[in-house]
Amino acid sequence: MATPRPARPRLRPPAPVRGSALRRGPVVASTRPPAREPAGDVPPGPAVDARKTLDEALAVRGRIADEFYRLGELLVLLAVGDVFRALGFRSFEALLRSTQLTGRTTAYKLMAVVKQYPRDVALQMGRARAYALLRLQAEGGAVQPDEDHSVRDLQEAAKKLRDARRGATRSRVPAAGLRRADSLRRWLRRRGLIRARVRAVLVGAALWQRVLLPDAEVEALIAG
């Protein structure tokens, strides 16, 4: 007797796409990662403080004539390693370049004023005069903040003291050291380093020859 064959399963045709599903188009799996659950309040830390400090500094820079001291205070904070690294920068200078907060020279001038003078004294003098007075005092000048001197007067006085100090230093260099500096300069220029500068200097009690070369000539020298 023949064994009966099992009945084939009946395949149902797919349901036709109709209505709004047809208008929406095919369903595609999303590649977007699932939304993260909120972690609650962000705990206070250097990154939060750093961002707040940078935002305030960027807002203040447009009013530098009136708020230069506050900008200097903020720059002092941003120059701390933990702060600029919390903002993702490897150095304070990189932060200045990336944010265009202010130029490097201006930043260090403002920071120097903040570190040297109280707020009321600096604001009374003004930014340019405060820094000029600071430089004069660094050269040994005895001018006080309350004395009435123009920025030009302070700058010229600082230059005279600086030139006198450099002249005195050079006068102490032995004549033999000066001659060797000239010989070294000629030797370098004969080898194509025509813009080389050589200067004999005293470092403590030791005599050194300081050589200055343009970067392009240094690169050619290394390559050769």
pLDDT by position in tens, the chain (length 224):
555 555 555 545 555 545 444 444 444 333 333 333 333 333 345 555 888 888 888 887 767 767 888 888 999 999 888 889 999 999 989 999 999 888 888 888 888 888 888 888 888 877 777 788 777 766 666 665 555 666 676 667 667 766 666 665 555 778 888 889 889 988 887 777 777 888 888 777 788 888 988 877 777 677 65
**Cα gap 128→123, rounded to integer Å:** 10
Residue 21 lies inside a defined structural domain of this protein: no
Locate 20 and state its tokens.
């709004």
Do 82 and 179 fall into the same domain?
A: no
Locate 143 and state its tokens.
């001018």
Residue 12 lies inside a defined structural domain of this protein: no
Q: At 37, phi and psi to the nearest 5? A: -70, 140
Of 221, 171, 160, 162, nearest to 200 by C-alpha is 171
Do 106 and 194 fall into the same domain?
A: no
- Which range of residues forms the domain containing residue 177? 172-223
Residue 56 lies inside a defined structural domain of this protein: yes
Helix (H, G, I), strand (E, B) or coil at 31: coil
Q: What is the pTM of this model?
A: 0.47
Locate 202 and state its tokens.
């005293």
Number of domains in the chain: 2
Do 205 and 139 fall into the same domain?
A: no
Do 185 and 101 fall into the same domain?
A: no
Residue 82 lies inside a defined structural domain of this protein: yes
Do 116 and 163 fall into the same domain?
A: yes
**Cα gap 175→200, rounded to integer Å:** 10
Do 71 and 148 fall into the same domain?
A: yes
Do 53 and 155 fall into the same domain?
A: yes
Locate 26 and state its tokens.
């095919």
Do 152 and 184 fall into the same domain?
A: no
Residue 126 lies inside a defined structural domain of this protein: yes
Do 56 and 95 fall into the same domain?
A: yes
Residue 13 lies inside a defined structural domain of this protein: no
The one-character DSSP state at 144 is: -
